[in-house]
Structure 1
Amino acid sequence: MANNFFGITDIGRQRDNNEDTFIAQKSGDGNFIIACVIDGVGGYVGGEVAADIARECILEQLSYIAGDVVPLLVNTINIANQKIYDKKKTDKQLENMACVLTLAVIDIQNNQFYYAHVGDTRLYLLRDHTLIKISKDHSFVGFLEDSGRLTEEAAMDHPKRNEINKALGFNPEISKDPDFVETGHSPFLPGDTLLVCSDGLTDLVDKSLITAILTGSDSIEEKGKRLIDAANSKGGKDNVTVALVQNDKAPRQHSATRPATAVAKVTDEIVDPLAQPKLPDGPATIPVRQKSNRGSMIVLFILLALALAGFLWQFWLNYQLKQNPVKTYVTHVKVKNAQEIKLQDTINKLKGKTLILSAADYPEPIVLTDSLHIDGDSLYIKAKGNILFKRDSLYHGPALTLAATCKFIVLDSVAFEGFKITITTHNDALVLKHVVFNNCEAPVQTSYSFPANKQVSGRLFGGMFKIDSLPGSKNQESGIKKK
């Protein structure tokens, strides 16, 4: 799979700086290819800063990809949006910065790709020499083009073609709008090519020329460079960026098989289709052997007997079902969300003994569909800001499960809501600091290990935990402040 992805960006012919950036590389675990084009919104100070923030956030969040990919992409874009918005608040010169992006994650091994998109960068799929536009432009002119009200040529020349209605960095609460981020996934078959590009390409180069370049015999690097050159040759009015990914597996081809029947001999004789067929040489009449009806009667009798037996069998089965109705059970399949996948992976790969949970990374409650497992001997989990763990409506297990090997686990300033059993632990491994339990039936369930065949004496002291009361803190009453 070497050389099956490539990215390139160019300042163009009329701009003084490049507000575009891109990603074209494998994920940290090596199982996926990330192709992304990010365009700093033109005309605003700091567009390139916003693009760089988004790029770094994507690489950080997608270093490990597992589970349901689309929610992970949406969560990554939400985090990038929040980081851009937070940066704007700290620097007055950047208060108008924003960016748009198209992010694709490709699973070559399983022939699939997933994408998330905001703005007027674009995603195309080339299959069988046909270029298909996958993403939709989040702009008025883009809507007119996608709905067929404007031709491609008219949209490219429209005076408002660069006015967008969605971007990252303007609204800190895009996660509350389920339609803000456009998402999808599709098969990525052997021979397919994905193109992610900025509007610096599609505002100047039409679909037919892009298709001609992508279907050529050049290498993927040369195709990327030819797309840049095509935009610059038409004026290069904007920064131009492309990212390409090819599924370079050999397409499956099925060889044709010859029919088993003999091939008729070709002659020069003209055949009349209305003529009676020729009989082979021989007697003028062909004797016909009369068959006895006895065999037919036997077959008919056997068929009737089988039909009667089948009817009686079905009648007996229906009777048994009425007497002993079959019970059906519905099994709910757990599908972990991106937040808990990310958090469990962080716990598993943590090299130190301290884990900081920041509200900037988890602005919304962390909804758990399964228990988070802690296996190390010691770990300090500290929350900065409001970190709330909530139970998914279909989940009835604990929020945290501490292994028997744990010796010293500290939870500091986190909150839990709605769990029947919140934390399961062993012996005296758990330490709580300013932890809140809202509507939790059993906050902590502890198992103690004792040696076999030994007498045990002692007492479990309920006073090992105390109720904290911090002056002026409303969170001690409600668990966490809802935004």
Structure 2
Amino acid sequence: MTDQFFGITDTGKHRQNNEDTFIAELTANNRFIIACVIDGVGGYSGGEIAAALAREAILRRLDKPSGEIIPMIIDCFKLANEKIIQEKQRSKEHDNMACVSTLAIVDIERNQFYFAHVGDTRLYLVRDNSLVKISHDQSFVGFLEDSGRLSETEAMNHPKRNEINKALGLDVQLGKDDNYIETGQSPFLPGDMLLLCSDGLTDMLDSAKIRTIITTDGALKEKGNKLVEAANRNGGKDNITVVLVQNNKAQLQFDTTRPAVNPKKNSDTITATSEFHEQAPVKAQPAVVVR
């Protein structure tokens, strides 16, 4: 498992505390890699608590993986949602806390990854030096960017960029709404890499800079550290979290079955099509949380 996964979190240049957390580890049976980024929301340490509760719930559910993978990772988010709501009911000072998260389960043996996503943390696939955005930001600005109505630069500078539509810990009915959690799966081929990150990275670095760093030769630890350093150099306005996973299997020189990723002209990021997703892309909704 040498250099197959790496995670790092940093407070940034302006925050006093870190409301981000992450998971980058093997399941107990060594079958899967768990990669997860969690970004807490809420003042008075509420964001930190929400993120910690979500992390604990996810690890507890994945301690003994069982059943189909997509339903299992949906269960992770349902449990996290339940734990956060229970804490909010117990402690009114944390009434505004919640978290956003992206969770990926990587089956290296079968060359496949599965993911679940709520909020504006992100999942990217790196293949053949192309950066493919897999998850959809569940925010109004994210919807405009993903649908092509805003450029990446316009979205990064939009005053409502950090208003999100969905989060864990907001709605006790989350478990009954099949469309609340974005899910999907895709081949994870030899040479492929996954990047999971909080908005502390993507608010500071555009896709061109991220792609340059992540496709440069070096160990995952080096790439992760360079991403955090670059985000801090550009302002470090929020907590920054990065998780990287790589498929280090030898790539066949002539692999005729390998699906190609074709970059769009003048674009450093490709938005994933429906082949990666179990459901349609998120629809725009009124913002409910200002981060």
| Structure 1 and Structure 2 fold alike (TM over 0.5) | yes
1:133: which partner in 2?
133
Unaligned runs of 5+ in 2: 256-291
Deviation of 1:246 (Å): 0.2
SS in 1 for 2:164: coil
SS in 2 for 1:225: helix
Higher RCO (C-alpha 8 Å, min separation 6): 2
Quick check: 1:7–1:224 contact (8 Å CA) kept in 2? yes
Deviation of 1:94 (Å): 1.1
* Pair 1:227 & 2:239 matched: no
SS in 2 for 1:75: helix
Q: TM-score, normalised by structure 1?
A: 0.52
1:20: which partner in 2?
20
* Pair 1:47 & 2:70 matched: no
Deviation of 1:195 (Å): 0.2
Identity of aligned residues (%): 60
Quick one: distance in 1 between partners of 2:82 and 2:66? Answer: 23
* Pair 1:154 & 2:166 matched: no
Quick one: distance in 2 between partners of 1:236 and 1:183? Answer: 30
SS in 2 for 1:58: helix
Quick check: 1:197–1:242 contact (8 Å CA) kept in 2? yes
Quick one: distance in 1 between partners of 2:91 and 2:110? Answer: 44
1:36: which partner in 2?
36
1:75: which partner in 2?
75
SS in 2 for 1:16: coil
Superposed, 1:283-432 pairs within 5 Å as none
Quick one: distance in 1 between partners of 2:140 and 2:55? Answer: 26
Larger Rg: 1
Deviation of 1:254 (Å): 3.2
Superposed, 1:241-256 pairs within 5 Å as 241-254=241-254
Superposed, 1:59-70 pairs within 5 Å as 59-70=59-70
SS in 2 for 1:166: coil
2:56: which partner in 1?
56
Which amino acid letter does the alignment assign opposite residue 204 of structure 1? M
Q: How many residues align?
A: 255
SS in 1 for 2:212: helix
Deviation of 1:43 (Å): 4.7
Q: Deviation per CA, 1:153-181, whole angstroms, max 9, x where unpaired?
A: 01000011000010111111111111000
Quick check: 1:45–1:96 contact (8 Å CA) kept in 2? no
1:108: which partner in 2?
108
* Pair 1:206 & 2:206 matched: yes
Quick one: distance in 2 between partners of 1:203 and 1:43? Answer: 20
Unaligned runs of 5+ in 1: 256-483
Superposed, 1:167-246 pairs within 5 Å as 167-246=167-246
Quick check: 2:123–2:135 contact (8 Å CA) kept in 1? yes
Quick one: distance in 1 between partners of 2:126 and 2:80? Answer: 29
Quick check: 1:44–1:96 contact (8 Å CA) kept in 2? no
Quick one: distance in 2 between partners of 1:28 and 1:118? Answer: 25
Quick one: distance in 2 between partners of 1:44 and 1:103? Answer: 26
Quick one: distance in 2 between partners of 1:166 and 1:28? Answer: 31
Quick one: distance in 1 between partners of 2:221 and 2:148? Answer: 33
* Pair 1:90 & 2:85 matched: no
Quick one: distance in 2 between partners of 1:66 and 1:7? Answer: 25
Quick check: 2:6–2:245 contact (8 Å CA) kept in 1? yes
2:142: which partner in 1?
142
